[in-house]
Amino acid sequence: MPSSALIYTLAGIWIAVIGLRGVLAEEHVFRKIVASNIFGSGVFLVLVALARRAPDGPPDPVPHGMILTGIVVAVSATALMLALLGHLHDTDPDDREDSP
Amino acid sequence: MIVFDLLSALFICMGVFFFFASAVGLLRFPDTLCRMHALAKADNLALGCVILGAVFQQTDPLIIGKLLLIWVVTLLSSATGGFLLAQRIRRKHLAQQEAG
Amino acid sequence: MIASPWLLTLPVILPLAFGVLTLLFPSDWLARTGRHGAMLCAAAVVPCTRWVWQAGPLHQSPGGWTAPLGIDLYLDGMACLFLIFTAVMGLGISFYAAAYYPPSPDGTRTRNDLFWPLWFVTWGGIQSLFLSQDLFNIYVTLELISVSGVGLILIAGTPGAVRAALQYQMQALIAGLVYLLGVGLVYNAVGTLDLQLMSDQLQPGLMKNTGMALMTAGLLIKAALFPLHFWLPKAHADATAPVSAVLSGLVVTVAFVMLTRIWFAGLHQLAPFLLPKLLGILGSAGIVWGGVLALRQHRLKRVLAYSTVSQVGYLFLVFALTFHDAPGQGLVWTGAVYLTISHGLVKGAAFMAAGYLQKAEGTDQLAALKGCARRHPVAVMVLAVASINLMGLPPSTGFIGKWMMLKASFHTQQWGLAVVMLGGGLLSAAYLFRVFEQLLQPSGPPSGPSRGGEAVTPLTRSQSIWMLTPAMLLALATLLPVLYITLPDALLRIGAPLPFSDFIRPGGTP
Amino acid sequence: MTTGLIFDIVLAFSLVVLAIITLRQRTPGESVVQLMIFGLLLALSWLRVDAPDLALTEAAIGSGVTGALLLAALHRTGFGTPFPSAVSPWIRYPVTIGCALLGAVLSLVVMYTWDQPAGLTDPAYAHLEESGTQNPVTAVILNYRGYDTLLEIGVLLVAALSVYTLSGPASGTPVKPPGPIFRFYMRVMTPVFWLVVPYMVWVGGRAPGGAFQAGALLSGLGALTLLGPTPWPLRLKRRVVRWGLSLGFSLFLVTAAWMWQYGNLLAYPTEQAATWILLIEIACTLSIGISLTVMFAGCAGWLHEDPERAV
C-alpha cells in the first residue's frame, strides 16, 4: 500500500520533468519562464514529500527550510527574467514577434 | 454535539453544491461578463456555507473570528476584483465602438 | 593555538558589508570606498593563509551549530589557495573598475554605481563558496553569484546585454534547480548535507548516486562545459570589461572547483567508470569547439569569451585523467589547479586590456583595432602575455598546468586526450595570432581614434595608469613560475582531508 | 484504500495534468491563470504532507506573487498574443524522450529506495528548546541554518537591485484611475494588511508563519498600492527605497557583528535567541515586502519615470 508521501513524490518527479521539457523544448521566453516555475514546483514537491518519508513522527524540518529558501530564490529569478523580458519588449523592436 | 455535526455537514454540502454550480456556470456561460456573474455570486455563497460549516466544528472564538474574517475579506476582494474586470471589459468595448 | 571565530567568516562578511555600504553611500564616494574596501577584503585572507600555513586545516561553524544540524565552513590548502586567488583578482578588478567607470558629472547615481554593491556581493559569495562544506549552502551561494552576475551584465545597458542576461539567468535558474533536486536526493540517502560527513559514508547507494549525477549535471551547466556553454560567450562579451573580467576570470572557475570538491568527497570510491570518460570527451569537444568558434569571431571580446569555453574544456579533462588506476593523479590534480588559477588571472587581465582598447578606440571590432600596438603598447603587451599563457607556452603557469596534465595522459595512456590537448594549444595559437595580426599592423585605419560610431572621450593619464597597472600585474603574476610551483603545491598538500589526499603523492611536482 | 489516499491520488494526478495543461495554453494570459491554479492546488498537496509553513509560502509567493509578477509583465507585452508555433520536431522529440526517461529513472530510484529514510528530524527537534522558537522550520531557517538565510536575503536584495538597473525609457502604460470601489477597498484593506502582516511575523515563532509569508503579504499591499490612484511607492525617495531594500540584509550583518562577543557569526545565546530572531524577522519582512514590490513595479515597467537615472 503506497503512502501519500510516495504518491506526491512521484507526482513531483513528473511535474518537474514536464517543466524541464517545457524549458528545453519551448521557443518562447515567456513560456520558458512559466515552465521553469513548474519545474521548480515539481522539485520542491519532491523534496517536501521526501521529508515525510518516515511513517510516523513529525516531518523533517531541514528540507522544509531548504524549500522556503528555494521558493524565494525562484521568485527572485522569475521576477528578474520578467523584468528583462518586458524591458526587451519595450526597447528592442526586433523582439516583439519572437524571442531571443 | 451531534446537532452541530449535522449542521456543519449540511452547510458544507450546500457549499459544495454551490461551488459545483458556479464551476458549471464558469464553463458554460458564453462571455466573460456572464462568467463573472457565476463566480461573484455562487462562489461567495458557497464559500460562506463552507465556512459556516467549519464554524460549527469550532469552539475557540479566535478561530471562529479568523474563519469569518476570511469570508469577509474574500467577499470584499472578489467584489473589487469583479468590478475592475468589468471596468476593463467595458472600456475595451467602448474603445472598440469608437474605433468601429 | 586557538583560531579566532572570525577567521573564516570575515572573508565572507566583509565583502557583503561593503556591498551594503556601497549601495547606501553617495555616488562620489564609491570609487574610493571600492578601492579601500577591496584592500580590506583582500587583507581578510591573510590571517587565513597564516593559519593554514602554521596550523593546518580548520573547521568552523558560522551559525554556532556544527554539522550535521548547522553549516560548517572548512579551510584547507586548496580553499586557501583559491581564497588568495580571489583576493588577488578582487584587488585587480576593483582598482580597474574604479578607473573604468567614470564618476557621474553631477553626483547623481547612475547605473554604473550599481557595479559596486553587485561586485562586492559576488566577491563575498565566491569566498563563501570556496569555504563552504555544505551542499545546500553551495546552492544558495551559487544562486547569489548568478543573480548578481545578471545584475552586473545589465550594467552595460545595451539590448544585447539584456538579452544575454536573460539567457544567463534562465540557465542559472535551471542549473540551480537541477542541482537542488540532486541535493534533495543525496540528503535523503545519507541524512546529512555536510560534505565531510557524507564522504564518511562511502557505501554506494542508488539514490545517492542519482542525486550525485543530478548535482553534477547542474554544476556542468554552471561551469559551461560543452554543449552546455551556449549562454557563456554572449554574456561574457556583451558585459562591460570589469564585469567580463569578473565572470570569465572568477565565476567560471567557481562551478568547476565546487564540482571537483563534491566529486572527490562523494564519488571517489564509487565513481562509475562511464561518467569520467564522458566528462573527458565533453571537455575535449569543448576545447575544439570553443577554439574553432573563437577563430570565426570579429570582436576581440568575443574571441576571448570563446577562448574561455575552450579553456574550460581543459579543466574537465581532469576527471578523465584522475579516475584511473595509474600513478600520477596528484600530477593531474596540481596541474588542473594551476590551470584554473592561471586561466582566471590571464583571462581577467585580457578582458581588462580589451576593455581598455574598447574605451580608447571606441570599439572592439578587430578590423578597427588595426595598428593598435603602436598607440597602446602596454595594453597589447598585456594581451601578448595572456596569449602566451592561453597557448600554454613556457614559462607561463598555463604551460606548467597543461604539461602536467599532458604527462598524466601519457601515464594513463590516453593518447586521444593528449592529441586534443596539443591540438587545442595549436588552435588557441591560431585564433590569438589572428588577433595579433590586426593589432601589430604597422599602420592603422586612416581616421583618428573615433571609429566605430561611438564618440570616444579620450582617457586621462591617471585613468590609463589605473586601468593598465592591474591588468599588467595580473598577467605578469602568471609568469612567475618559480614562486608558483613551490607555494601552491605546498599549500595544496596541507589538509586535503577530503579523500583525494591519497591522490596527491610525493613527487607530484614536475 | 482509505479516503485520504484516494484524495491524494486524485490531487496528485490533477497536479500533473494541470502542469501539462498550463504549458499547452495558446496565449500567455491563459497560461498564467492556469499556473496560479496549479500553485494553489500544489499548496493544498503540501498540507497533505504536513508542511503547513510551506503551503502558506507557496500560496502566497509561489502562486500569488509569481502570478502577480507574470500578469504585471503581460501588462507590458500583451496578454493575448498567441505563442508562435512549436519548435522543430528535431528538438522536440529527443527532448521529450530524454525527459520521459529521466522521469522514469527517478521514479524507479525513489520507489526502490523508499524504505530507507534518513534525515535530521531528531536533532532538529532535540535542540528546539535552545533555538528560541517553537516552530521547527523557523528554527532551521533562522537559527540552525541562519547563515543560508543571510545569503538568501542577499539573493533577494541583489535581484531587486538588478531589476533596478533596467532604467530604460519610461515605458509602462500607466493604469487608468481605478474608480471609487477600488478606493473603498484600499481604505478597508490597508489596515487589515497592517494587522495581518505583524501577526504573521509574530505567529511564526510558534506556528506556521514567519518573515517570508509576511513579506509576501506586504508585497501584496505594495502591488495593490501601485495599482491605486496615488502610487506612493513610486514617489518614494530613491534613498528610502535603497535603505528599505537593504534593511534585512544589513540587520543580519549587524547581528553577525554584534555576536562577535559571543564567539560566532549567528550564534545567539539561548536566552537572547528569541529577541534576535524576532528583530531579524521584522527587518526581513520589510525588506522582502519592498523587494517584491520593486520587482512588481519593474515587471510592469513602472520603476523609472526618468530614463537616465538608476536607483
C161 to chain D: closest CA residue: D166
Q: Name the β-bridge partners of C74.
A: C59
Q: How many CB atoms lie under 10 A from the CB of residue C420?
A: 24
Model pLDDT, residue D154: 93
Model pLDDT, residue A99: 38
Q: Is D166 in Cβ contact with C162 (below 8 Å)?
A: yes
Given a cut of 60, whether residue C338 has pLDDT beyond it is yes
Which D residues, 151 through 190, put their C-beta within 8 Å of a C-beta on chain C? 151-152, 154-155, 157-159, 161-162, 164-167
Q: Is A98 in Cβ contact with D84 (below 8 Å)?
A: yes
pLDDT, tens digit (0-9, with 9 covering 90-100), for C203-258: 667 888 888 889 989 999 998 888 888 888 888 999 999 999 999 999 998 988 89
Interchain CB contact of C143 with A (< 8 Å): yes
Given a cut of 60, whether residue C447 has pLDDT beyond it is no
Q: Is C125 in Cβ contact with D162 (below 8 Å)?
A: no
Residue range D21-48: mean pLDDT, rounded: 92
C151 close to D161: Cβ distance less than 8 angstroms: yes
SS3 C270: coil
Asked whether at least 3 C-beta pairs link A and D within 8 Å, the reply is: yes
Interchain CB contact of A32 with C (< 8 Å): yes
Cα separation, C81 vs C87, whole angstroms:
10
SS3 D198: helix
Measuring CA to CA, which residue among D147, D146, D262, A63 is closest to residue C132?
A: D147
Q: How many residues does chain A have?
A: 100
Residue range D13-30: mean pLDDT, rounded: 92
Residue range C458-487: mean pLDDT, rounded: 82
Chain C positions in Cβ-Cβ contact with residue A73 (cut-off 8 Å): 140, 143, 147, 176
Interchain CB contact of D117 with C (< 8 Å): yes
Model pLDDT, residue C444: 62
**Which among B76, B87, B91 has CB closest to D185?**
B76
Interchain CB contact of C248 with D (< 8 Å): no
Q: Is D264 in Cβ contact with C62 (below 8 Å)?
A: yes
List the single best residue of A34, A80, A89, A99 to mutate versus C (max C Cβ within 10 A): A80
Model pLDDT, residue D271: 78
D17 to chain A: closest CA residue: A15
Q: Name the β-bridge partners of C75.
A: C58
Cell of D293: 514590490
Chain A positions in Cβ-Cβ contact with residue D144 (cut-off 8 Å): 62, 65
How far does C191 lie from chain D, in Å, by closest CA? 4
**How large is the ipTM?**
0.93
Q: What is the CA radius of gyration of chain D?
A: 22
Measuring CA to CA, which residue among C50, C154, C34 is closest to residue C103?
A: C34
Cα separation, B88 vs D176, whole angstroms:
9
Q: Is A37 in Cβ contact with D66 (below 8 Å)?
A: yes
Measuring CA to CA, which residue among A40, A68, A65, A57 is closest to residue A5?
A: A57
Q: Which DSSP category does D183 fall into? A: H
Interchain CB contact of D207 with B (< 8 Å): no
Q: What is the DSSP string of C451-471?
A: -SSS--PPPPHHHHHHHHHHH
More confident residue, C269 or C332: C332
pLDDT, tens digit (0-9, with 9 covering 90-100), for D189-242: 889 999 999 999 988 877 787 888 999 999 999 888 887 765 555 556 677 888
Interchain CB contact of D182 with B (< 8 Å): yes
Asked whether at least 3 C-beta pairs link C and B within 8 Å, the reply is: no
How far does D231 lie from chain C, in Å, by closest CA? 23
D60 to chain A: closest CA residue: A71
Cell of C210: 542519482
Model pLDDT, residue D231: 55
Model pLDDT, residue B71: 93
Helix H, strand E, coil C: the string for chain B is: CHHHHHHHHHHHHHHHHHHHHHHHHHHHCCCHHHHHHHHHHHHHHHHHHHHHHHHCCCCCHHHHHHHHHHHHHHHHHHHHHHHHHHHHHHHHHHHHHHHC
pTM, full prediction: 0.93
What residue has cell string 522536440?
Answer: D92
Given a cut of 50, whether residue C499 has pLDDT beyond it is no
pLDDT, tens digit (0-9, with 9 covering 90-100), for C373-388: 888 899 999 999 999 8
Model pLDDT, residue C246: 95
Given a cut of 80, whether residue B13 has pLDDT beyond it is yes
Which A residues, 5 through 24, put their C-beta within 8 Å of a C-beta on chain C? 16, 20, 23
Measuring CA to CA, which residue among C337, C171, C161, B77 is closest to residue D165?
A: C161
Measuring CA to CA, which residue among C11, C126, C137, C123 is closest to residue C72?
A: C137
The secondary structure element, H or E, covering residue A18 is helix A4-25
Model pLDDT, residue C273: 62
D295 close to A76: Cβ distance less than 8 angstroms: yes
| Helix residue ranges, H only, D127-237 | 136-139, 146-165, 180-203, 211-227, 232-235
SS3 C396: coil
More confident residue, C428 or D259: C428
Chain B positions in Cβ-Cβ contact with residue D182 (cut-off 8 Å): 80, 83-84
Mean of all residue pLDDT scores within chain A: 87
Model pLDDT, residue C352: 95
Q: Is A53 in Cβ contact with C170 (below 8 Å)?
A: no
Cα separation, D288 vs D246, whole angstroms:
10
More confident residue, C362 or C307: C307
Touching subunits of B (3+ CB pairs, under 8 Å) are D
Mean of all residue pLDDT scores within chain C: 85
For chain C, percent of residues with pLDDT exceeding 70: 88
How far does D183 lie from chain A, in Å, by closest CA? 27
Given a cut of 50, whether residue A96 has pLDDT beyond it is no
Asked whether at least 3 C-beta pairs link A and C within 8 Å, the reply is: yes
**CA dihedral in degrees (D166, D168, D170, D173; nearest 10)?**
-70
Q: Is D179 in Cβ contact with B83 (below 8 Å)?
A: yes
Q: What is the CA radius of gyration of chain A?
A: 17
Model pLDDT, residue D236: 64
Cα separation, C178 vs C105, whole angstroms:
45
Model pLDDT, residue C251: 92
pLDDT, tens digit (0-9, with 9 covering 90-100), for C109-135: 778 888 999 999 999 999 999 999 899
D158 to chain A: closest CA residue: A76
Cα-to-chain-centroid distance, residue C136: 21
| Helix residue ranges, H only, chain D | 3-23, 28-48, 52-57, 66-77, 89-112, 121-126, 136-139, 146-165, 180-203, 211-227, 232-235, 238-258, 270-300
